[in-house]
Amino acid sequence: MPRHVTLAKDRKSAYRIVLGPGADATQRLAARELGQYVRKASGVRLPVSGPDEGVRGPRIVVVDLSADPGAVREALGPAWTKTRAFARDVRAAGPGGCGRAVVGEDVVLAGADRAGVLNSVYGFLHHVVGVRWLDPDPGGESVPRRERIAVQTGTVVEAGAFPMRGIGDGCTVDYRFEDVAWLSRNRVNLFVTGVPQWERQRERFLPELRKRGMQLYVGGHFAHHFFPDPKRYFHAHPEYYALMDGKREPGQICYANPEACQIHLDNILAYAQAHPEIDVLGLWANDGAGFCTCPRCRRQGAKVTMLRFYVRLAHAVRRVRADMQIETGYYLPFLLPLPKSVRFPENTWILYPPYNARSKLYPIYDLRGESIGRPQRNHRRLREELETVVRETPNVMAFPYYSDQIMKKCLYSQFPEEIHEDLVYYRAKGVAGLHDCLIRREGWWMDSLNLYVYARMMWNPHEPLPALLDDYYRGLFGPAADAMAAFDRAYRTLLETPLYHGWRVWDTLDFHFGLQILRMAETFEPDLEAADQAKVADRVAGVRACLAEARKALGSRRGRRRERVERLAWCVGAFEQRLRLGGHNLRVAHVLNRLFAAPRPDKGELRDEAEKRMAQTRPILRKMRRFAREMSRATESPFIEASWAKACRNVETCQRARFEEALAAKPESGAKRARTQRATICPWI
């Protein structure tokens, strides 16, 4: 039987926390966090001593092994001879590496650097004390009551599976201090924010990030922030900007224009030198903006000119900021196949976002993710592209979109099993970093489970998932844990339910439903789907029954747990609203497709039917807007109302555009019409 050393028992302890040499703000924070959570769990207050106070008796030594070796040896005292191999292994674990060792009565919590010191303390609190940081919102941590805290003898050395581990999009997130603490406690080491966001947050957050040893990523869709200023250059030098549809547009530059590229490069270098705190500067292609079609770009290839610029930029950044790395986005298929003339240096990260090319109902390697009728869902292509980009570029950063509420439009959807399988796969394929797309901070609660599992799995993708899920439900929902676990399982089954000719409910609700609805509606006969819709209704009733059980388990008590349950009840209502609109849009699309294909003399009757269907859309949208307004207020998430309002406007606009197109159209074959369809009916964008 392994021996255990008792640190605290019956609210008593002989132990003292001792800081290592050069005790800086990070070590003091680590000692404070350790003492705070041990006291919460056991009622024991552990005194804290400096490295030179000559403490007698059992110690918990918190030490940064990157300090002077002689000072570390002196601080550890007699324990040094038995921990030399342990210290060597911790240093070998690399940046953020950590471990704990029990030598006699002493416990050593060691880090390879400042981040590693905190990682060692948080690992100890998680594995030994049983503390869980489930959510940064109030009531989101779970601290068990412990009559006895004991640690097993021996040594444990840990390192994060992915060197870069981040959460955030960098576009619209404004963080709180509680969020930074949550990231650090779950050993997420990359703080992600955008260029304008960082200008607002720099003074507030930089000391906290440095104290926690976190790396700073600033970027996202902000390449345009460093373009030649259109106000200054556009009228005098329109050739600096991209030629699109015969016009120069300031939203993108011409990467074949040397003067424009030089100004762009100089702006980036000036920013890099003015912000020495930035570790990674993210420069993604503008979201949705086309590339230049001028003769030079067409001759050289717009992709090639852009990639060559990023290679040149990486070399230039290395000369002025050897400690900074840049990240460029493999966004849309503009990167592959990688031209032979383009080779990125070692200070470059390539962002790899699967975006709409994968189904979140299956792991990214699972070919079942290629949905019926959804040609953009191609897991086979994703696997091939990922393997190619890992092989041909120095560092790959995956960007999985588990928590992108812009894409999901406030659709509650949890994917813990897929996150687990994805990260195991990414690790095996050589992906070196991850950061997920959290667009709206106030929507954290809607993806709380995804974010918790994601944060834990970035450190160790082989951590047992059932234990993580049990921690999550019991920590956040207490007596309603079983009911809420059943709720998530029932809701997931609901999303997987076949609905229309093999299409699942999820396929009709997610971000790109509108891009395929017309093609899908060609074979869809609304009156034949009553059985599938009845099955969905039954499963919605099952989801609501789980919420009723959770309310019953919590009783009449109000509090954070009840508030979480009620917020998720609103999410079920939002699901029903979107499902109703989705079914109606299918019927509109079916009529419009018939109108599109009909000879001109026969369009009159179909025109009346289409106008009637479109008129029926308006009361549905009014009800959705009202629901979104009520949900935003009830859940304190104002982005829901704004997001749905935009989506509802797009529904009406796109229906009308498709109607006008169908009236003017000549009859086409179904195959030709499928190739030429571009408009959308329900674009949740």
What digits encode the pLDDT tens for the residues 38-70?
999 999 999 998 876 777 889 999 999 998 888
Residue 216 and residue 34 in contact, taking contact as beta carbons nearer than 8 Å: no
Strand partners, 325: 280
One DSSP character per residue, 659-670 reads HHHHHHPPP--H
Q: Tokens in use for 318?
A: 């290395």
Q: How confident is the model at residue 228 (pLDDT cuts 50, 70, 90)?
A: very high
Q: What is the pLDDT of residues 279-313, one digit of tens each?
A: 999 988 776 556 889 999 988 888 888 889 999 99
Higher pLDDT, residue 33 or 384: 33
Task: Read off the pLDDT of each residue in 674-685 and give the average, rounded to a whole number.
Answer: 34
Q: So what's the pLDDT on residue 173? A: 59
What is the chain's mean pLDDT, rounded? 86
Average pLDDT over residues 403-423: 85
373 vs 446, higher pLDDT: 446
pLDDT digits (tens, 9 = 90+) for 389-403: 899 899 999 988 888
Name the residue with higher pLDDT: 105 or 672.
Answer: 105
Among 91-95, 485-489, 668-672, the range scoring the smallest mean pLDDT is 668-672
Question: What average pLDDT does this structure show over 461-489?
Answer: 96
Confidence check: pLDDT of 150 > 90:
yes
How far apart (Å, rounded) are the C-alpha atoms in residues 141 and 475? 7
Domains of the chain: 4-158 (3.30.379.10), 162-216+354-398+400-463 (no CATH), 219-283+290-327 (no CATH), 485-676 (no CATH)
Q: pLDDT higher for 127 or 406?
A: 127
Question: pLDDT value at position 534?
Answer: 79
For residue range 587-620, what is the model confidence (pLDDT) as tens digits?
787 788 788 878 877 788 888 988 998 999 899 9
pLDDT > 50? residue 658: yes
Model pLDDT for residues 119-137, shown as the tens digit of each residue: 999 999 999 999 999 999 9
pLDDT bucket at 71, cuts 50 / 70 / 90? confident
The mean pLDDT value for 403-421 works out to 84
Contacts for 246 with CB less than 8 Å, ≥ 6 apart: none
Is residue 667 pLDDT above 50, yes or no? yes
513 Cβ contact partners less than 8 Å away, ≥ 6 residues apart = 507, 582, 682, 684
What is the per-residue pLDDT for 371?
A: 54
Query: pLDDT by residue (tens digit) across 156-211?
Result: 999 999 999 998 765 555 788 899 999 999 999 999 998 988 998 899 999 999 99
**pLDDT confidence of residue 179:** 92
Which of these ranges, 271-275, 517-521, 577-581, has the smallest mean pLDDT? 517-521
Locate 17 and state its tokens. 């926390």
Q: Which of 467, 441, 468 is nearest to 452 (CA)?
A: 468
CA 417-422-425 angle, to 5 degrees, is 130
**How many Å apart are CA 299 and CA 111, to the nearest integer?**
53
> Which of 126-130, 267-271, 630-634, 676-680 is predicted least confidently?
676-680
Instruction: Considering only residues 506 and 209, tell me which one the structure prediction assigns the higher pLDDT.
Output: 209
Mean pLDDT of the region 539-555: 95
pLDDT of res. 335: 66
**Contact by Cβ (8 Å): 115, 191:** no
| pLDDT > 70 in the chain, percent | 87
CA dihedral 514, 515, 516, 518 (to 10 degrees): 70
231-258 pLDDT, tens digit each: 999 999 999 999 988 999 888 899 999 9
What pTM did the predictor assign? 0.92
Contact between 583 and 601 (Cβ < 8 Å):
no
| Secondary structure element (H or E) that encloses residue 197, with its range | helix 195-211
What is the structure's pLDDT at 172? Answer: 55
Q: What is the reported pLDDT for 385?
A: 84
End-to-end CA distance of the chain: 59
Higher pLDDT, 330 or 463: 463
Question: Which of 389, 491, 379 lies closest to 431 in space, CA to CA?
Answer: 389
- Would the pLDDT of 677 be above 50? no
pLDDT at position 275 over 60: yes
Q: What is the mean pLDDT of residues 474-501?
A: 91
Contact 465, 453 (CB under 8 A): yes
